[in-house]
């Protein structure tokens, strides 16, 4: 797209959308200026409210982990417009940033919004808003009948440029049905969030009974999934070298390093802290996506410098869509786009390839 709005105008409009969202999402989400897991810590019993599991430790760690990394500046060089263009899954994007998959928010409150309990509408605004600004949306998964086919439908409107993320359903037919719906909508890739087994309510494998929830996958099964699906497969919820190496063995196109927004393990590590080790272990043959606590173009820069190929942002996109609909998702993407360009100019990075680990200073 042509990025005709400058950062100031984008920030002003984004502030309006945050204000709108604050009226709609309170008290479930306070829409803090920076979404960092502090105000919502320990307030919810449901793991898929806006907060994370238990004390919010995993969510807060993700944000703090990035804050503890600083960037070395070098503003003395010729002037240029940093090039943030990139390609994934056979599609071109203006920036290596995507909306992470967020399924239906399970809340005790009712939101006065056309997007509440209407995931088709929500997904359409998110997918089109991200795409319009040169980014992409990944989508979540939920058991509710009609939920999945409804949300993949709008993928057609952006030529397939979105990634449905399918839960590792114990009932394999449920999994393959979702693959088929995604294929029919033309989705450019498919992801599966294996760490969903940590969302307590999803794992309903009582001894001797049918498991209606999610369950684990073996390397052999992942290989079958990669071979059977005629498009790139990304495995989400990877937080260790051990698991990343298994994904490589299975032939995955990529992994998404993520602690599920702190939703599966109470005090889980910050995703940014495992990116460099995983990159070193798996090399460059497999794409590395990473999310968790990313709130600005500077955070994106840090994840890329640590070794990620592209970076996901979760909760702020929910705020953006509730506050501003499709334009909200577009404006939020543009905010990240301009912030990434700013920090690239401040660090003498002309292209994404110039964003390297030696530009980071670790405080810890």
Classify residue 12 by burial, with Cβ atoms within 10 Å: 0-12, 13-18, 19+: exposed
Q: Do you know the residue count of the chain? A: 364
Q: How far is the CB of 208 from ligand FMN (least distance, A)?
A: 28
Q: With respect to ligand FMN, which residue has the nearer C-beta, 21 or 48?
A: 48
Q: For ligand FMN, which stretch binds (CB under 6 A), given 23-31, 64-72, 246-254, 287-295?
A: 287-295
Among 53, 236, 248, 279, binds ligand FMN (CB under 6 A): 236
Should residue 61 be labelled a site residue for ligand FMN when binding is judged by CB under 6 A?
A: no
Q: How far is the CB of 243 from ligand FMN (least distance, A)?
A: 15
- Strand-pair partners of 139: 164
Note whether 14 and 331 are within 8 A (CB). yes
Among 18, 28, 100, 182, binds ligand FMN (CB under 6 A): 100
Residues 102-131 that bind ligand FMN (CB under 6 A): 102-103, 105
Note whether 297 and 90 are within 8 A (CB). no
Max Cα distance, the chain (Å): 68
Q: With respect to ligand FMN, which residue has the nearer C-beta, 160 or 293?
A: 293
CA distances from 74 to 149, 302, 333, 358, 360 (A): 48, 16, 26, 12, 12
Q: Tell me whether residue 77 is one of the annotated catalytic residues.
A: no
* Number of Cα atoms under 13 Å in the Cβ half of residue 333: 32
Should residue 193 be labelled a site residue for ligand FMN when binding is judged by CB under 6 A?
A: yes
Q: For ligand FMN, which stretch binds (CB under 6 A), given 17-25, 68-76, 124-132, 313-321?
A: 313-321
Note whether 62 and 52 are within 8 A (CB). no
Note whether 236 and 253 are within 8 A (CB). no
Q: For ligand FMN, which stretch binds (CB under 6 A), given 75-83, 216-224, 310-318, 333-341?
A: 310-318
Among 31, 60, 62, 286, binds ligand FMN (CB under 6 A): 62
Does residue 51 sit in helix, strand or coil? coil
Active-site residue, from 3, 77, 91, 260: 260
Should residue 315 be labelled a site residue for ligand FMN when binding is judged by CB under 6 A?
A: yes
CA–CA distance, 210 with 207 (Å, rounded to integer): 8
CA–CA distance, 57 with 198 (Å, rounded to integer): 15
**Which H or E run contains 343?**
helix 315-346
Q: For ligand FMN, which stretch binds (CB under 6 A), given 117-125, 206-214, 221-229, 253-261?
A: 253-261
Should residue 188 be labelled a site residue for ligand FMN when binding is judged by CB under 6 A?
A: no
Task: Give the count of residues interacting with ligand FMN (CB under 6 A).
Answer: 24
Should residue 260 be labelled a site residue for ligand FMN when binding is judged by CB under 6 A?
A: yes
Does residue 177 sit in helix, strand or coil? helix
Closest CA to 77 of 360, 347, 361, 277: 347
21-52 burial, b at 16+ Cβ within 10 Å, e below that, comes to bbebbeebbebeeebbbeebbeebeebbbbbb
CA of residue 351 relative to chain centroid, distance: 22
CA–CA distance, 127 with 155 (Å, rounded to integer): 7
Q: How far is the CB of 181 from ligand FMN (least distance, A)?
A: 15
Q: How far is the CB of 31 from ligand FMN (least distance, A)?
A: 13
Should residue 141 be labelled a site residue for ligand FMN when binding is judged by CB under 6 A?
A: yes
Among 291, 309, 327, 339, binds ligand FMN (CB under 6 A): 291
Q: How far is the CB of 288 from ligand FMN (least distance, A)?
A: 14
Among 292, 297, 307, 324, binds ligand FMN (CB under 6 A): 292
What residue ranges bind ligand FMN (CB under 6 A)?
48, 50, 62, 100-103, 105, 140-141, 165, 193, 236, 258, 260-261, 263, 291-294, 313-315
- Positions marked catalytic: 260
């Amino acid at each position: 797209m042509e990025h005709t709005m400058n950062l100031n105008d984008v920030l002003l409009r984004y502030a309006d959308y945050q204000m709108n969202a604050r009226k709609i999402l309170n008290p479930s989400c306070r829409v803090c200026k920076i979404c960092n897991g502090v105000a919502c810590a320990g307030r919810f019993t449901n793991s898929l409210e806006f907060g994370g599991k238990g004390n919010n430790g995993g969510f807060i760690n993700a944000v703090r982990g990035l804050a503890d990394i600083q960037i070395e500046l070098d503003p003395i060089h010729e002037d240029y417009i940093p090039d943030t263009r990139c390609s994934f899954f056979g599609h071109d994007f203006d920036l290596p940033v995507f909306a992470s998959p967020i399924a239906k928010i399970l809340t005790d409150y009712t939101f006065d919004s056309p997007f509440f309990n209407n995931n088709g509408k929500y997904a359409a605004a998110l997918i089109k808003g991200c795409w319009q600004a040169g980014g992409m949306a990944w989508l979540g998964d939920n058991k509710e009948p009609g939920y999945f086919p409804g949300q993949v439908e709008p993928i057609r409107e952006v030529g397939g440029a979105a990634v449905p993320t399918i839960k590792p359903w114990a009932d394999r037919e449920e999994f393959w049905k979702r693959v088929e719906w995604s294929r029919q909508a033309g989705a450019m890739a498919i992801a599966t969030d294996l760490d969903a087994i940590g969302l307590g309510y999803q794992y309903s494998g009582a001894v001797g009974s049918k498991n209606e929830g999610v369950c684990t996958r073996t390397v052999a099964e992942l290989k079958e999934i990669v071979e059977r699906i005629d498009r790139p497969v990304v495995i989400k919820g990877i937080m260790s070298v051990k698991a990343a190496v298994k994904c490589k063995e299975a032939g995955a196109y990529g992994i998404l390093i993520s602690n599920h927004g702190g939703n599966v393990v109470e005090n889980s590590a910050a995703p940014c802290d495992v990116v460099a080790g995983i990159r070193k272990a798996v090399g460059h043959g497999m794409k590395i996506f990473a999310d968790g606590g990313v709130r600005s173009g500077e955070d994106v820069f840090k994840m890329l410098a640590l070794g990620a190929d592209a970076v996901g942002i979760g909760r702020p996109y929910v705020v953006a869509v509730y506050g501003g609909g499709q334009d909200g998702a577009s404006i939020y993407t543009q905010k990240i786009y301009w912030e990434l360009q700013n920090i690239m100019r401040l660090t003498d990075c002309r292209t994404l390839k110039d964003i390297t680990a030696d530009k980071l200073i670790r405080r810890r």
